[in-house]
A = this chain, B = another copy of it.
Amino acid sequence: MVDWFGISRVVGEPGVLPQRAQKLDASLPLREGELLIDVERLNIDAASFKQLKAQCGGDAKALAGAVEAIVAERGKMQNLVTHSGGMLVGKIREVNAKHPQFSTLQVGQRIATLVSLTLTPLAIRRINAVKLDIDRVDIEGHAILFPSGIFALLPDDLPETLSLAALDVAGAPALVARYVKPGMTVLMLGAGKSGALCLAQARAAMAGQGELIAADISQSALDSLKQLELCDRSLVIDATAAVATMEKVAALTNGRMADLVINCASVANTEMASVLSCRDGGQVIFFSMATSFTAAALGAEGVGKDVTMVVGNGFVPGHAELTFKLLKENPRLKAFFAERYC
């Protein structure tokens, strides 16, 4: 039977998922349904890299040794302090015949993994370079993706750094595509990377009907989005101030409020601003990782607000392709992204 989630790769903890496991078995040969990758580089999670840098006093060689030691011990690159991982880039070396995409994948294709390094079996043969300024470790080695392990084929016609920056938040615009309909008033809280992509996708889904409002604490971030024509209106707000945010949205919409609120804020305590800015019967999608479940659930109840609140799932089928397409079809957005996030 195909081991969809790689449970058989967990060492010594029966029934535990790879992400929570202490140690994974990265040995070959490949098992049923798996994908083998020749790894070129590890993009280490920012929190993890910062911790490693501090531990090694900023010394690249010591950091290389620390990464080698973790992977040798755990069979995966999961930081012992922050418990976070990152992702990797490499070339497909082998696809087992039972992998769900066996018929379309080709050996040699360059891919980026979209599942965390914390659940990816990994073996390092040698470390070629440590890039201290961009949280990157260039290696030779192999990694294994389980049949459920999502990844993206890296396009030839986009710079790799741009593709990787976009992949980081690809789930957001893909989910937005399902919720935005022509004629809606859409409020975006947060004018950062995922906010910009979501606005571009919302613009496409609205087909010229409806209104896109971008809200952020930074006037200059909003100005950038307006220059790119990614929003119709903009609002300088502090989304942790729920009532003030609501009042500004009410003034801008003549009291109708937003049909859909998309929360891409990077700070905590923005749940109530989202709920209060949404009309009764409307929808809120939370993408912010700072979202508190109880603050959202109890907050909406506390103000008697009938809104549908959705947890922003980072995975939507086809999300990588959708996001690459957005960038390719929006040369100005692409240039903005390249300048800002690469």
Residues of A near any B CB (own CB < 8 A): 5, 7, 15-17, 19, 114-116, 119, 148-150, 171, 241-244, 272, 276, 286, 289, 291-294, 296-298, 300-317
Asked if A115 meets B5 with Cβ closer than 8 Å, knowing A291-B293, A293-B293, A309-B313, the reply is no
Q: Establish whether residues A19 and B302, one from each chain, have CB atoms under 8 Å apart when the complex forms.
A: yes
Q: Establish whether residues A5 and B289, one from each chain, have CB atoms under 8 Å apart when the complex forms.
A: no
Give the nearest-CB partner of A116 in chain B: B302
Q: Establish whether residues A272 and B242, one from each chain, have CB atoms under 8 Å apart when the complex forms.
A: no
Give the nearest-CB partner of A308 in chain B: B310
A326–B16 CA distance with the chains assembled, in angstroms:
39
A131–B173 CA distance with the chains assembled, in angstroms:
54
Asked if A315 meets B301 with Cβ closer than 8 Å, knowing A17-B243, A243-B15, A243-B17, the reply is yes
18 other A-B residue contacts (CB within 8 Å) besides A15-B243, A149-B304: A5-B303, A15-B241, A16-B243, A19-B302, A116-B298, A148-B303, A148-B304, A286-B293, A289-B293, A289-B294, A292-B293, A293-B311, A297-B311, A298-B314, A301-B313, A309-B311, A310-B311, A311-B311
Asked if A310 meets B313 with Cβ closer than 8 Å, knowing A115-B301, A171-B301, A302-B115, the reply is no
Q: Establish whether residues A308 and B297, one from each chain, have CB atoms under 8 Å apart when the complex forms.
A: no
Give the nearest-CB partner of A281 in chain B: B317
CB proximity of A179 to chain B, nearest CB, Å: 10
Smallest CB-CB A-B distances: 5 pairs: A301-B314, A309-B311, A150-B304, A301-B315, A293-B293
A17–B240 CA distance with the chains assembled, in angstroms:
11
Asked if A306 meets B297 with Cβ closer than 8 Å, knowing A5-B243, A243-B7, the reply is no
CB proximity of A205 to chain B, nearest CB, Å: 17
Cβ contacts under 8 Å, A294 to chain B:
289
Q: Establish whether residues B313 and A17, one from each chain, have CB atoms under 8 Å apart when the complex forms.
A: no
A308 interface neighbour in B5, B243, B313, Cβ under 8 Å = B313
CB proximity of A305 to chain B, nearest CB, Å: 7
A320–B293 CA distance with the chains assembled, in angstroms:
23
Q: Establish whether residues A306 and B313, one from each chain, have CB atoms under 8 Å apart when the complex forms.
A: yes
Cβ contacts under 8 Å, A16 to chain B:
243
Cβ contacts under 8 Å, A15 to chain B:
241, 243-244
